[in-house]
Chain A
Amino acid sequence: MQKRRILAAALVLSPLVLIICSFIEGGWRIAATIIAFLSMLPFYMLFERRKPKAREIVPVAVMSALAAISRMAFVFAPQFKPIIAIVIITAVVFGAESGFLCGTCSMLVSNFFFGHGPHTPWQMFCCGLIGYAAGVLSRKKIITGKLGLCIFGLISGFIFGAIVDIWTVIGTTPEITPQTVAAIYIAGLPFNAALAAATAFFLYVASVPMIQKLERIKQKFGLYDKV
């Protein structure tokens, strides 16, 4: 099967890159960034294989723009941003794949305004993963209702912080020891807590009306019929 072949290729490539870079003293910084890119590849390829229709693509673009704008609107409040909440709502309504795309695209788009850095692929991958997980878990009825979404939002806020902080550890720590890693995670805790709280808060306030609204539009125009 084609899908499996792509996944296998990505899985083989990642360690290969790691091995090459491990021969050089600063190589792990490069290896980590390449892996962040590689890990997004299978998702995009699966999406591309399916030959997505215009009616699937355009709503995701709208939701990505909305998520990016929401990040810009709260520019005054560091880390207290609704972007992940909007990605989760999109994923719940439009499915896991759209959630992944919305997450990665909204991060990339908003970074055109905030400025790109080595953290961009990490943020993209992480936000995409949260969207994917939200889509899968809500279809499997593991997260249901407002409370479930809020709890998921709280956890995902922390997970986002933890994964993006991997970059902080790799990119900024002179030497990775348990102490320095702990120091970075403790220093990042208030920011990650703010992000988690913001995600849960915005899901609490906006998830029910937003999901209703999106479901209505989905029904009205017959989007994602066969799903």
Chain B
Amino acid sequence: MLSTYHPVTVFLYFVVSISATVLFTHPACIMLSLAAAIGYAVWQKGAEAVRFGLTAALPVIVVFTIVNPLVNHKGSTILFYIKYSAITLEAVLYGLFSGIMFAAVMFWFVSFNENLTSDKLLYLFAKVSPSAALIITMSLRLIPRMKRRVIAIASAQKTIGNDVFAGGLKVRLKNGIKILSALTTWSLENSIETADSMNARGYGRRGRSFYSPYTYEKRDKIAIIFLIAIAALIFWSGIKGNIAFKYYPAIQGSLMPQDIAPELLINALLFLMPVIFNTMELIYWKFSR
């Protein structure tokens, strides 16, 4: 499973995969990425991913396919006219495949959110800015506490006649601001206590050690080397332009398997990486007994 790897590995996997998705406009590449992204989303979230696809991704594809030919009149194959403006086949296709590309990115982010949970993302962020990561950790923790405080304040206010759910809009707004005001004071005064407690425990001193639940294993090293190699190949094939696909003015690009096979294979290797690594681990497990 990808989520058991080190956060750096997981993050790099998604960066390379999403980059590979948006880099190429070739229909085969886009469809391949969409298939992989849907596969992982369904694998991890099940029915919820299907619902996401129908309510969020599908409408995006439909809107792109309809809107692009309406605002873009380039292309040489005219299908029909709407009020003297030509609707071209190329524009429809470009809209369709851009929509699919965007949907694929959306699906990739479904697994991204599932694999890189807040703690892992914060672990990565702490490498860039430890203080900012600390702020984010603290606010994530404060949110549920503040929600409880809001309920406490609201019920206390209600007993003295300041109900947010009763009366005219102006009265309710005024009562709402009273709650916000009380919440701010309460939380900020408390935060000073937290800060002093942090100081007392040696925040910002030299020689503090950090706890991290993530270990950088040998398999992470292998995976990262694999990902960097794949990324280099992908950028190289992008610069080489073998797989370039032009939609305007006329569709120009090869759909022949022999022309695009190497590039597609590289992309497939990338997208299948979690599956490949998983299978290899299973085999290793089986034979190590």
Contact between chains at B129 and A48 (CB < 8 Å): yes
A: interface residue count bin: 35 or more
* A26-B143 contact in complex given A61-B135, A180-B72, A221-B192, C-beta closer than 8 Å: no
Dominant secondary structure of chain B at its interface with chain A: helix
Task: Evaluate contact between B146 and A69: CB separation under 8 angstroms.
Answer: yes
Binding site for B on A (CB under 8 A): 20, 23-27, 29-30, 41, 44-45, 47-48, 51-55, 57-62, 64-66, 68-69, 101, 104-106, 108-109, 112, 115-118, 171-175, 177, 179-180, 183, 205-206, 209-210, 213-214, 217, 221, 223
22 residue pairs of the A-B complex, CB under 8 angstroms, read A24-B238, A25-B241, A25-B244, A30-B19, A45-B129, A47-B131, A53-B204, A55-B195, A57-B134, A58-B138, A62-B138, A64-B136, A69-B146, A101-B135, A108-B125, A116-B109, A171-B105, A173-B98, A180-B72, A214-B184, A217-B189, A221-B192
Complex alpha-carbon distance, A66 and B23, angstroms: 38
Apart from A61-B191, A179-B72, A223-B192, 12 more pairs, CB < 8 Å: A30-B23, A57-B131, A58-B192, A59-B192, A68-B139, A108-B125, A109-B136, A174-B98, A175-B94, A180-B71, A210-B184, A217-B185
Contacts of B68 in A (CB 8 A): 174
Give residues 235-250 of B contacting A (CB, 8 Å): 235, 238-239, 241, 244, 248
Given the known A-B contacts A66-B187, A210-B181, are A26 and B139 also in contact in the complex, defined by CB atoms under 8 Å? no
- What CA separation (Å) do A54 and B200 show in the bound complex? 10
Within 8 A of A (CB), among B178-194: 180-181, 183-185, 187-189, 191-192, 194
A61 contacts which of B128, B138, B180 (Cβ < 8 Å)?
B138
A54-B102 in contact given A48-B130, A116-B112 (Cβ < 8 Å): no
What residues on A are CB-neighbors of B136 within 8 Å? 61, 64, 105, 108-109
**Which of A101, A172, A223 has most B Cβ within 10 Å?**
A172
CB distance from A88 to the nearest CB of B (A): 15
- For residue B187, which residues in chain A have a CB less than 8 angstroms away from its CB? 62, 65-66
